[in-house]
Amino acid sequence: MKKTVILAILAASLSSLCFAKPSVIMMRNNGPLRSDNGKGGVEWALEVPEGTVLELADKKVQIKDLVTSKGVTKNVSFYKVYYNGKSYYANASEVAPDGKVAVLTSDSGLYTRPRYTSFRNAALDAGTIVIVYPDQEVQDFDTFSKISVMDTNRGVVITRYVLKHKLSSSSNDVKAVRILQKAESEKDETIKNELLKAAAELNTSSQIQLLVNKALPADVVESTVSDDDISAIDNKAVKIATKDGSKLNIRSRPGRGGEVVGQVDDGTSGVISIQTNGEETIEGITSKWYFITVTLGEDEVSGWVFGGFIE
């Protein structure tokens, strides 16, 4: 039963990261979708995760009465949207125009304009999900990106700028953060630990992995491989082949507990020379770990990579 619940949570957390049709994106965590009550108003129907993409049924904002347990709020702006094939209403103040879902990989200051002088003593924590737009501007040798984010104090979506290098639009980084959000609110320890394991199994950036590791109890993820049980192999040329074109972590020792010593781009060539005798399963792929050496510019980087992401 708990396995079914975990799968359902993961399906909800990982759905709708991108959409081809005109859409908006829910910016409120556990954002409410509402249904028409037939009396000119809308009432709570269900909740969706932050970052969920909602197909627009109509690009025009519709004015409805918001009916809650606390009473009725008149003349609230809503978008009519589709979610899982059914129509609902999303509060216009809680969604952002369609952009690319991204996550902050480190704490980041917020800027009202793309320049350092526009900082207004406001910041977002690492792991915050945002919507990023193509609007960019280079200022003082840095690139700023335009984002939308939920202002939790006012309960509305705002538009600001952040430094581009603090953003990641990797699908695995976004998935991991969304799973962490679910795990944080989960009261059942078994389900919570399974969610954390799922986040740990994703091939995320080193910064997001740090967030996952902080949330993991020490005994939750125990690697089934060790650098005490390895074998030398003939040198073999390989290429990095991640599923989604994201970067691959190189670790100090085999297993997900190894410290990340570097990252390499998809398609990077390298040479493997050692393998673990044991295997591990990550993202549904079972493979050994391999000691690899890659050349990055004038430098060589060596460490362990999971065999499911090389070819």
Per-domain boundaries in the chain: 20-97, 100-168, 176-215, 230-309
Lowest-confidence pick of 22-36, 54-68, 188-202, 266-280: 188-202
Residue 259 has pLDDT above 90, yes or no: no
Which CATH architecture fits 100-168?
Roll (2.30)
Average pLDDT of every residue of the chain: 83
Task: Determine the Cα–Cα distance for residues 116 and 144; give it in Å rounded to an integer.
Answer: 9
Q: Which residues contact 304 (CB under 8 A, 6 or more apart)?
A: 227, 250, 251, 252, 253, 254, 255, 258, 289, 290, 291, 292
- Where does residue 155 fall: left (phi above 0), alpha (psi -120 to 50 degrees), or beta otherwise? left
What local confidence, expressed as pLDDT, does residue 188 receive?
86
Q: Which residues contact 40 (CB under 8 A, 6 or more apart)?
A: 64, 65
Residue 2 has pLDDT above 60, yes or no: no
Question: Identical fold at 100-168 and 230-309?
Answer: yes
Residue 52 CA, distance from chain mean position: 11
Lowest-confidence pick of 4-13, 117-126, 182-191: 4-13
Beta strands in 197-310 (DSSP E): 230-239, 248-251, 260-264, 269-276, 280-282, 285-287, 289-296, 299-306
Residue 165 carries which side chain, given as an amino acid letter? H
What local confidence, expressed as pLDDT, does residue 43 receive?
95
Closest CA to 201 of 100, 308, 290, 96: 308
Query: Is the four-CA dihedral 198, 201, 203, 206 of positive or negative sign?
Result: positive
- CATH class held by domain 230-309: mainly beta
Per-residue pLDDT band at 219 (split at 50, 70, 90):
low
Residue 12 has pLDDT above 80, yes or no: no
Residue 16 has pLDDT above 60, yes or no: no
Residue 92 carries which side chain, given as an amino acid letter? A
Residue 238 has pLDDT above 80, yes or no: yes
More confidently predicted of 180 and 203: 180
Would you say domain 20-97 falls under CATH 3.30.70?
A: no
What local confidence, expressed as pLDDT, does residue 220 receive?
55
Residue 10 has pLDDT above 70, yes or no: no
CA angle 29, 31, 32 (to 5 degrees): 160
Per-residue pLDDT band at 218 (split at 50, 70, 90):
low
Residue 182 has pLDDT above 90, yes or no: no
Average pLDDT over residues 42-62: 90
Residue 241 has pLDDT above 60, yes or no: yes
Both structure tokens of 84:
């899982």
Residue 109 has pLDDT above 70, yes or no: yes
